[in-house]
Structure 1
Amino acid sequence: MLTPNLPQEILIEIFSWLPTKSVGKCRCLAKQWPTLLSTPQFIKSHLSRKPHQENLILITPPPSRSIYSIPTIEDNTFSRKLELPGKWTEVVGSCDGLVLLVDEEEEKFLVNPITLEQVKLPNSPLALKRGESFSMHGFGYDSLRDDYKVVTLSYYDTDNEYEPDCADTFVDVYSVKTGVWKRVENSPYDHAVPHIFCGAFVNGAIHWLASSRESGYRSVIARFDLVNDVFSEIPPPSGVDVEKFVFNKLVVLGECLCMLDVRQNDRTDVWIMKEYGLAESWTKFSICADYEYDMLKPLCFIGDAEVVLVTEGETLVVYNQKEGNLKDLVVDGLPAMFVDGGIFVGSLVSPASNVN
């Protein structure tokens, strides 16, 4: 038992090295610890300890649309059904242990899957009317303001064969710290093709695949900077078709930007940007396997050789890069099918307020 006479700074240092669930247990052991272990200073210190274990979060198909998490991906792993009321449809993204989820009513919730805290975010008063527009979301962290942000891109589809599909893409930004939506300058890109895919948060920015509005409508990786609320581009892999990679998928894999290109002949190319912003740092591995379903989204690595993916058939699979084989991932207590998935790290960050 730690002596209560230790200075607060030393206690924080000691407890910050514990796993998230162990901290929760310690909050129940001594009268002064619940307050100490809930302070913004401690939560920041605990979050800064690296590396944090990646956990999977998965949504099951209708009618249940429940959420399950997997704390580790290894032999004899297990799943846990999260008791979060609602019928969920989409995992938008995660940051510092917070996960942005969307339900079947298209309401957005910020959730900590470890503490099970859940906060409903207000709808944007600037949002386009449902049924007459398309929208896509992203979630990330503004390091300058120490603020978590939700970004929504929305547009009316003009369905014009000879012009960009969306005349204007509106950009709305929600600040978790202030609880306020604001509209910033419209996106300079055409986001119509991949409108159903969420943004990928890496290196302080949310990324979407889009098309340039210039002649030829080349594909681009559009980068939305959460500090300055502006768009720019980062270089794509040199081996992709600049006219067509807008139809690929952009995700986060191993904390790096990742592009998934599902090709013909049972082949899927997975591009990973090892050093952010450098075109020459893109590396590729290909999944060449006779499998019933196309690869939909890579989720995480297992060690150095294996990658966990969700398939178009709503199943989990593991691909071994060294052996070149693909196998189904079976987890104790986990349903067989999923409509979406993502990763998060265990943390004590509360979705109710930002950590100051």
Structure 2
Amino acid sequence: MTFFFHYLTRNNRFSKRRKSLKSAAAQNSSSSGRDDEQQQLAAYHYSTIIDLPSHILIDILSRLPLKSIFISRCVCKTWHILISDPLFATLHFDRNSGSNPELYLRTDFSTCISRTLHWVDLESFPGYNHAQCQWAKINAQFYLPKRYPKPNPKACTSNGNSNRGNRRAGREYDIVNSCNGFLCLRKPFHRNPCIICNPITGEYVTIPKPAAEDDKKTLRTVISGFGYSFRSKQYKVLRLVFDDFLNRTAEIYSLGGAAWRKVGNAPWSPIAGLFPTYLNGVIHWVCDDIEDDQSCSDCIVGFDFEDERFCVIPAPPHFAEKPKTRDNLYDMNLGVLGGCLSICDVTYFAPPDIWVMKDYGVQESWIKQLSVDNGYFGICRPIKYLDDGSLLLFCKRRALVLYNPVEKNTRYLLIHEDQSMIFEAITHVPSFLSLKDVGGDNLTVQNINSRSDQFEPEESETLFLIEMRKAGELLY
């Protein structure tokens, strides 16, 4: 594919040369005669990739990796138009929807949560080298919508000016989860889902406020999820509202619709602090509605966007081999590895166990894929497998860990500027789908890049990932 990409760009240069020769021949036609012009054009007339029909060019471009697509978009106006075509977005999505997600980092500064997503191309990261520390530059950036919080009187200084250093006033949206190239964002404190965006295209839409929303009711807990219904071809946002232990309301908003609607009561209480995982039309959580003396067989719950009902996903049959309490559930993380539902079991300072459900919904299909037996990382979340077989994990919000199960070596990657910096790791399959095409005419689509928002200085800086030899102690 790399060879083919170079072939594309080289032939574009040849095409430009051919056009310049045609222009030169036209200018000299009056002096040299028409026969000489035709001979010169015939000598340099050959077909290039630019001469292919547009639908074939779109098919070719849609097969390129993400980085090459962005380069191709800058090659010429024709390619930019083709990559902006809805057919390209559809072909690219169909080919990549089942692939491994890309990794994006979002830094957590002391004064604000960044709205910049830094794309990490881990396949280009230098190989393992015992002699020296490796580092990688992360300069591909995408942006989330800007949040404009209501003025907070407590966040003002004595002279009446807003306190820009106040963390609550400067915090951006939290990310709920990713689905089909779109991200669902929520308010950081009341946790109400409010925006759907595509960071690749820069498009976003605002979700209507629920009729029952009451921001002053600070004791309520809101848990949300975002998914897709294959039958109705609708994107839906789920909102679970917990006023108390008994009052658990579930509400649904269909993208492009007018309002939220209730779909019954939530039978369980998912753990609010953990990322939900979307797979096969179902949003998944780890649930803490068990007693200490109960088994964890019902600790994975979900909501099916197709039938709009809750379900229980059977946990691994041997999941209870490690003794567990209710508090241990907060150390578990769901994810998707190789297109399969996975769970990372970290219990009692034991090495993390990675379980994978090979046949979705079938309890007997759970297998313990590996145990990371080269040190204890604490709370960690599996991200993806790399081409060399290494497993990438996100640990303690401070490090990326590359674990090679064959060689049993571990590599720690941290933000270079501040090795103790807290950051967020987001798994996301990028797409060029437009919200205008999936939400209908009732959506008001805005663009992040069309607004003259100013970034904090640290938000626009290039990040560096550096490999640390003795970073293990930072994770305890």
Q: Is TM-score (shorter-chain normalized) higher than 0.5?
A: yes
Q: 1:317 to 1:27 in 2, by over 3 A?
A: closer
The structure with the largest strand share of the pair is 1
Shift of 1:304: 5.5
2:252 alignment partner, one of 145, 168, 173 = 173
8 Å CA contact 1:136, 1:198 repeated in 2: no
8 Å CA contact 2:143, 2:199 repeated in 1: no
SS of 1:12's equivalent? helix
SS of 1:13's equivalent? helix
Give the aligned partner of residue 160 of structure 1.
none
Tell which has more relative contact order, 1 or 2 (C-alpha 8 A, sep 6+). Answer: 1
Task: Report percent identity of matched pairs.
Answer: 29
The one-letter amino acid paired with 2:275 is C
Partner Cα distance (1:246, 1:53) in 2: 26
Shift of 1:118: 3.6
> Within 5 A, what are the aligned runs for 1:58-137?
58-61=105-108, 62-66=110-114, 67-74=116-123, 75-76=125-126, 77-80=136-139, 81-84=141-144, 85-86=146-147, 87-88=171-172, 90-104=174-188, 106=191, 108-127=194-213, 129=215, 130-137=217-224
SS of 1:190's equivalent? coil
Shift of 1:25: 5.5
1:186 alignment partner, one of 248, 251, 265 = 265
Q: 1:325 to 1:25 in 2, by over 3 A?
A: closer
Structure 2 length as normaliser, TM-score? 0.63
Q: Max radius of gyration: which structure?
A: 2
Partner Cα distance (1:57, 1:108) in 2: 21
- Once the two structures are superposed, residues 173-194 of structure 1 have per-residue CA deviations (whole angstroms, 9 ceiling, x without a partner) of 222233642221212x2216x1
SS of 1:78's equivalent? strand
Partner Cα distance (1:201, 1:16) in 2: 25
Give the aligned partner of residue 196 of structure 1.
273
Is 1:56 the counterpart of 2:103 in the alignment?
yes
Give the aligned partner of residue 358 of structure 2.
274
Partner Cα distance (2:389, 2:418) in 1: 24
Q: CA RMSD in A?
A: 3.4
The one-letter amino acid paired with 2:119 is I
Listed as ranges, the gaps of 5+ residues in structure 2 are: 1-11, 13-47, 127-135, 148-170, 441-476
Shift of 1:43: 1.6
2:239 alignment partner, one of 133, 152, 162 = 152
8 Å CA contact 2:100, 2:384 repeated in 1: no
SS of 1:206's equivalent? strand
- Once the two structures are superposed, residues 161-182 of structure 1 have per-residue CA deviations (whole angstroms, 9 ceiling, x without a partner) of xxxxx21322122222336422
Listed as ranges, the gaps of 5+ residues in structure 1 are: 158-165
Shift of 1:155: 0.5
Q: Using the TM superposition, name which of 56-65 and 331-340 deviates more.
A: 331-340
The one-letter amino acid paired with 1:48 is D
Partner Cα distance (2:84, 2:417) in 1: 32
Give the aligned partner of residue 12 of structure 1.
58
Is 1:259 the counterpart of 2:346 in the alignment?
no
Equivalenced residue count is: 345
Partner Cα distance (2:79, 2:409) in 1: 49
Give the aligned partner of residue 329 of structure 1.
413
Partner Cα distance (1:99, 1:344) in 2: 8
Shift of 1:60: 1.7
The one-letter amino acid paired with 2:88 is F
8 Å CA contact 2:106, 2:117 repeated in 1: yes
Give the aligned partner of residue 392 of structure 2.
308
> Within 5 A, what are the aligned runs for 1:230-245?
230-241=309-320, 244=326
Q: 1:134 to 1:313 in 2, by over 3 A?
A: same
SS of 1:42's equivalent? helix
Give the aligned partner of residue 161 of structure 1.
none
- Once the two structures are superposed, residues 122-175 of structure 1 have per-residue CA deviations (whole angstroms, 9 ceiling, x without a partner) of 332234654121122222221112222221222023xxxxxxxx2132212222
The one-letter amino acid paired with 2:385 is F
Give the aligned partner of residue 206 of structure 1.
283
Shift of 1:217: 8.6
Structure 1 length as normaliser, TM-score? 0.81
